[in-house]
Amino acid sequence: MSKATRPPAYFEALYAENPDPWDFESSQYEAEKYNATIAMLGGRRFANGLEIGCSIGVLTAQLAAHCDMLLAVDIVDSALAQAKTRCAGLGHVRFQKIQVPRDWLHERFDLIVLSEVLYFLDPADIGKLAALVRGSLAADGVALLVNYTEAIDEPCSGDDAAKIFINAGGFARIGGMARERYRIDVVK
């Protein structure tokens, strides 16, 4: 039996113990993964982007350079506060506290980024989120999935989370890459 979706309290405890619990600011792994993520955008400019699970905003600041408008969401107030500070000079970036898939946004996006968030959800919630993303994705839009692929003690593995999301949403994989510790899938 799989584990349940991680609740907000799980993440709040992580950030209370360490304001950068995954070393987003200093990790070579994170820097490489962010560079690969941005490269997967293919130099395209997006009108309206959404980043689910923005954490402290390190990737957010990089995504902002490729979007006319960017909405970054997370479930932890302290993480959002750090992200807002990091992106303070970027007037086209907005932040909102939501818990997916329970909460959702009624907007259309031509870019939706889910970087290392899916495996914190159980399979049923991944399926619900995939349907919500599908419904909010503009006709010419893409979703970018980034998943850690080494062994983790979460409701899903990174590989399983990506497969569940793609299948549940009826997405077609149009690009991507695999590295030793992560995979990126570009879907529409």
**Domains with residue ranges and CATH for the chain:** 8-187 (3.40.50.150)
**Please, which residues have CB within 8 angstroms of residue 13's CB and are 6 or more apart in sequence?**
none
Structure tokens, 147: 């998943």
Q: What is the mean pLDDT of residues 124-153?
A: 98
CA distance 73 to 53: 6
pLDDT digits (tens, 9 = 90+) for 56-110: 999 999 999 999 999 999 999 999 999 999 999 999 999 999 999 999 999 999 9
Specify whether the CB–CB gap between 113 and 63 falls below 8 A: yes
| Cα pseudo-dihedral 38, 95, 160, 164, rounded to 10 | -110
pLDDT digits (tens, 9 = 90+) for 152-173: 999 999 999 999 999 999 999 9
CA distance 145 to 186: 6
CA 139 to chain CA mean position, Å = 20
pLDDT of residue 66: 98
CA distance 175 to 162: 13
pLDDT digits (tens, 9 = 90+) for 29-55: 999 999 999 999 999 999 999 999 999
CA 94 to chain CA mean position, Å = 15
* 2: confidence class by pLDDT, cuts 50, 70, 90: low
3-state SS, residue 176: strand
pLDDT of residue 23: 96
DSSP-derived letter for residue 65 is T
Specify whether the CB–CB gap between 125 and 83 falls below 8 A: no
**Please, which residues have CB within 8 angstroms of residue 124's CB and are 6 or more apart in sequence?**
none
Structure tokens, 83: 């992200």
